């Protein structure tokens, strides 16, 4: 129970904070609670809780700017609480690690205190409050929640049993209940459609807070997917002076399995700041070709005409209401001139806050990522070269595939050392991680690849052009884009596209070479929408020169299904995670307990035992035959009375053949005169009787 909410808090700490300190604090609270529970009355304990809570709050407040004033102003405080309770993830809190460390001791202390006093109900209540809070913030996934519920049930149940000294049968009933909980809950989450559509299958286990979850805010993930599958043709078209990555948003906090944006949205106030470096002004006229909830624009947008969008954190644009087909807007972007020579000489004097925010990595990230990156970038002596080296390295040494097994955690680590292929999200995430190990501020950007160039200055962008890449910060210049996703498959795809007859396909930078009807199928997979390049690659690889419609059609559904497997079913079916092992054990225990209680095994064994008699020596045969007979008679007539010998019993209730059997038994066992003939006769008699009873 405690483990579940501590786990959530721990993850927050791990992503942004000092886990050792967290352990120390939690263990301290635990021990103190247990000790105080032994020796101290409730009043003192509540005082301690108050002190802990106040101390924690002050500690946390001291680490954030204007902290004390926020705490003192009740309004702001209330707003924050409400925001948290309505689904703001704790990972998005500023200094989430410190917050978690400050908050954790209170429930831990109380739980330990009540446990020490054998008040399991109250201990569980405290745990439930803590877990409930985290459920409301959306940080608890099904698994953790389930563990919490199981823990609560087990704590109350076993606590009660312990108090009343109930025997094992009560415990087995409880086990059955726990198993039922596990089975019901897990079958709920397996029901198709029971859970939100999986996104970016690869990188996120925790959908609410990862690329795509946050992409929802900027991008309205669901509507994108809807329109992709319905109208795969085109998402929007852009008239622009130059080709660019149409950016939608960016993410700063890496959780190991996904991405979180910790900055708040704000409203557009007429203009956005310009990057400090040398820029070219690029005007883009964007026309939505289907319903979209994002406003893609080349980095970095500085002004928007005839719309008043929301500005997501890190200057992504989002329409205040969904754009319908035909709606259009005009964005002016200041596109940074990326001249390697200049960027190589950029200073590394990053502002403190910026460095902290964009070099954050989960504390549990394995060291080998760091070591590996050091080796790869040994020859690079500035940030720009480092980024380029990593970009090339990833492009050269990893392949594309949509068919990936999602790692449990530390996507970058797994991608680097365990996997051979992946798609854009994997590449980009890995590159960000590697750069951050080198202390270079980096973030993940999402949006769309340029798409198909139509008239030289018009680009048509489809759902499957959606893409993820990397932005690296250079002081005095701004954020510079890098794309570690290999380009070759894209060129191959261009080739393929050129061969196809689709009139819309132009050869300039097209990333959507596939025939339309194939696209139809592909787009149903959510992953395809963010992974255009692998899509193309697999297609070009498999289809080669004769990329005609029909073979293409055969391929995508297959892909589709594997994708689904990856993103949805994996955590439950393929990978034996520790949760699965835990739940599996609970289920097995429950089933065993249930079987024991129902006595099914005994009955099944009896049924077989009654009907089948293996032969050994005559005496044992006769004994066993007699056992069977008595069992049979007991089932048919009355049970044997206490003290009644079996011989008496058989003579009493049995018929002629049974009495004969009793005689044989008597002679064999007590007169020590077993013979093969007698054994045969005995077995035969009993077999006949068993058969007769079975027929009736």
Partner 1 sequence: MTDNITAETMDIERAQTVARRVIENVEQVIVGQHEAVEHLVTSVLAGGNVLLEDIPGVGKTMLARSIARSVDGRFKRIQFTPDLLPSDITGANVFNQKTQEFEFRNGPIFANVVLGDEINRAPPKTQSALLEAMDEGQVTVDGETHPVPSPFTVIATQNSVEDDQTYSLPLAEIDRFMKRLHLGYPDEHEETELLGRVTGEHPIESLSSVATIDDIQTARRAVSNVRVEDAIRQYVTRLARYTRDHAQPGASPRGSVALLHAAQARAVLDQRGYVIPEDVQQEIRSVFTHRIRPVPSGDAPASIVTAALESVDV
* Binding interface with partner 1 (CB under 8 A): 642-648, 666, 669-673
237: left (phi over 0), alpha (psi -120 to 50) or beta: beta
Please say which residue, 134 or 650, places its beta carbon nearer to partner 1. 650
DSSP one-letter string for 335-349? EEP--HHHHHT----
Between helix 211-219 and helix 221-230 the angle, nearest 10°, is 80
| C-alpha Rg value of the chain to the nearest Å | 34
- Of the pair 193, 672, the CB lying nearest partner 1 is at 672
Nearest Cα neighbor of 22 from 37, 33, 11, 31 is 11
For the CB of residue 109, give the shortest distance to partner 1 in the complex, in Å.
52
**Which is nearer to partner 1, 243 or 663 (by Cβ)?**
663
Distance CA 338, CA 275 (A): 12
DSSP H helices in 421-499: 424-437, 488-499
Tell me the CB-side half-sphere exposure of residue 170, using CA atoms within 13 A: 13
Residue closer to partner 1, measured from CB, 376 or 682: 682
Minimum CB separation of residue 43 from partner 1 in Å reads 51
Tokens encoding 139: 């940080």
Q: What minimum distance in Å lies between the beta carbon of 166 and partner 1?
A: 26
Report in angstroms how near the CB of residue 574 gets to partner 1 at its nearest.
53
Specify the DSSP class assigned to residue 433. Answer: H
Nearer CB in complex with partner 1: 349/643? 643
* CB 671, min distance to partner 1, A: 4
The CB density around residue 394, as the number of other CB atoms within 10 Å, is 25
Nearer to partner 1, 454 or 647 (CB): 647
Closer residue to partner 1 (CB): 501 or 645: 645
Residue closer to partner 1 by CB (options 418, 644) is 644
Indicate the pairing of strand 301-305 with strand 452-453.
unpaired
- Helix, strand and coil content of the chain, in percent to the nearest 5, comes to 55, 10, 30
| Nearest distance from C-beta of residue 629 to partner 1, angstroms | 15
Least distance CB 605 / partner 1 (angstroms): 20
Q: In this structure, are residues 127 and 152 in contact, taking their beta carbons and an 8 Å threshold?
A: yes
**Shortest Cβ distance from residue 620 to partner 1 (Å)?**
13
CA-nearest of 245, 242, 237, 331 to 280 is 242
> Minimum CB separation from partner 1 for residue 587, in Å?
38
Q: Where are the beta strands (DSSP E) in 364-518?
A: 399-400, 421-422, 442-448, 452-453, 458-461, 466-474, 478-482
Closest approach of partner 1 to the CB of residue 680, in Å? 18
Q: Dihedral sign, CA of 609, 610, 615, 620? A: positive
Instruction: With CA atoms as reference, report the closest residue to 123 among 80, 88, 162, 90.
Output: 162
> Closest approach of Cβ 683 to partner 1, in Å?
20
Query: Residue 209: CB partners within 8 Å, gap ≥ 6?
Result: 89, 91, 92, 138, 139, 255, 258, 259, 260
What minimum distance in Å lies between the beta carbon of 660 and partner 1? Answer: 16
CB nearer to partner 1: give 165 or 645.
Answer: 645
* HSE (side-chain half, CA atoms, 13 Å) at 399: 11
Q: How far is residue 522's CA from residue 465's CA, in Å, rounded to a whole number?
A: 12
Nearer to partner 1, 634 or 666 (CB): 666
Cis peptide before 300 (omega within 30 of 0): yes
Q: How far is the CB of 685 from partner 1 (least distance, A)?
A: 19
Nearer to partner 1, 267 or 645 (CB): 645
**Given CA atoms 217, 222, 223, 227 in this order, what sign does their dihedral have?**
positive
Taking the C-alpha atoms of residue 330 and residue 282, their distance in angstroms, rounded to an integer, is 10
Pairing of strands 421-422, 399-400: parallel
Task: Give the nearer residue to partner 1 in terms of CB position, either 100 or 630.
Answer: 630
Task: Give whichever of 102 and 678 is closer to partner 1, judged by the CB atom.
Answer: 678
C-alpha to C-alpha distance for 639 and 633, rounded to whole angstroms: 8
């Amino acid at each position: 129970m405690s483990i579940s909410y501590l786990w959530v808090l721990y993850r927050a700490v791990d992503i942004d904070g000092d886990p050792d300190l967290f352990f120390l604090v939690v263990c301290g609270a635990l021990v103190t609670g247990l000790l105080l529970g032994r020796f101290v009355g409730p009043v003192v304990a509540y005082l301690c809780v108050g002190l802990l809570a106040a101390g924690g709050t002050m500690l946390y407040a001291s680490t954030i700017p204007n902290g004390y004033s926020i705490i003192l102003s009740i309004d702001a405080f209330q707003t924050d609480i409400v925001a948290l309770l309505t689904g703001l993830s704790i990972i998005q809190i500023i200094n989430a690690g410190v917050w978690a460390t400050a908050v954790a001791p209170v429930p831990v202390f109380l739980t330990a205190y009540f446990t020490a006093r054998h008040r399991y109900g109250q201990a569980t209540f405290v745990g439930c409050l803590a877990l409930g809070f985290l459920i409301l913030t959306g940080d608890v996934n099904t698994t953790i929640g389930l563990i919490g519920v199981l823990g609560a049930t087990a704590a109350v149940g076993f606590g009660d049993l312990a108090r009343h000294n109930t025997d094992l049968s009560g415990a087995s009933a409880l086990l059955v209940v726990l198993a039922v909980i596990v089975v019901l809950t897990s079958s709920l989450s397996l029901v198709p459609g029971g859970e939100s559509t999986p996104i970016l299958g690869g990188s996120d286990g925790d959908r609410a807070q990862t690329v795509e979850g946050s992409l929802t805010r900027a991008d309205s993930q669901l509507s994108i997917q809807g329109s992709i599958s319905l109208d795969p043709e085109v998402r929007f078209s852009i008239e622009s002076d130059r080709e660019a990555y149409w950016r939608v948003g960016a993410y700063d906090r890496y959780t190991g399995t996904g991405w979180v944006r910790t900055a708040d949205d704000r409203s557009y106030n007429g203009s956005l700041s310009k990057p400090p470096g040398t820029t070219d002004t690029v005007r883009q006229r964007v026309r939505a070709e289907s319903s979209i909830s994002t406003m893609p624009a080349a980095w970095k947008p500085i002004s928007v005409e005839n719309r008043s969008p929301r500005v997501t954190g890190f200057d992504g644009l989002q329409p205040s209401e969904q754009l319908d087909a035909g709606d259009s807007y005009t964005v002016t972007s200041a596109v940074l001139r990326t001249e390697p020579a200049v960027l190589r000489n950029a200073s590394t004097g990053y502002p403190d806050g910026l460095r902290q925010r964009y070099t954050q990595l989960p504390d549990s990230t394995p060291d080998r990522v760091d070591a590996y990156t050091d080796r790869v970038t040994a020859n690079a002596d500035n940030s720009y070269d480092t980024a380029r080296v990593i970009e090339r390295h990833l492009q050269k040494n990893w392949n594309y595939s949509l068919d990936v097994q999602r790692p449990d955690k530390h996507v970058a680590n797994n991608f680097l050392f365990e996997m051979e292929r992946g798609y854009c999200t994997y590449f980009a995430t890995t590159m960000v991680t590697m750069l951050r190990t080198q202390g270079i501020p980096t973030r993940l950007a999402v949006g769309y690849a340029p798409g198909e160039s139509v008239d030289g200055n018009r680009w048509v962008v489809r759902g499957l052009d959606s893409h993820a890449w990397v932005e690296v910060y250079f002081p005095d210049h701004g954020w510079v884009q890098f794309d570690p996703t290999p380009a070759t498959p894209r060129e191959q795809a261009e080739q393929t596209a050129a061969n196809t007859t689709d009139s819309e396909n132009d050869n300039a930078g097209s990333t959507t070479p596939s025939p339309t009807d194939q696209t139809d199928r592909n787009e149903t997979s959510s992953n395809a929408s963010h992974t255009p390049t692998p899509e193309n690659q697999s297609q070009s690889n498999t289809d080669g020169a004769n990329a005609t419609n029909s073979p293409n059609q055969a391929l995508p559904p297959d892909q589709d299904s594997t994708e689904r497997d990856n993103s949805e079913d994996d955590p439950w079916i393929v990978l034996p995670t520790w949760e699965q092992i835990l739940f599996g054990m609970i289920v097995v225990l429950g089933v065993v307990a249930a079987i024991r209680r129902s006595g099914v095994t005994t009955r099944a064994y009896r049924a077989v035992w009654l009907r089948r008699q293996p032969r050994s020596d005559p005496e044992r045969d006769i004994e066993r035959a007699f056992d069977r007979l008595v069992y049979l008679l007991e089932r048919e007539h009355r049970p044997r009375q206490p003290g009644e010998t079996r011989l008496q019993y058989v003579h009493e209730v049995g018929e002629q053949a049974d009495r004969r059997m009793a005689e044989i038994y008597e002679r064999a066992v007590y007169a020590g005169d077993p013979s093969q003939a007698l054994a045969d006769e005995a077995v035969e008699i009993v077999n006949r009787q068993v058969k007769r009873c079975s027929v009736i």
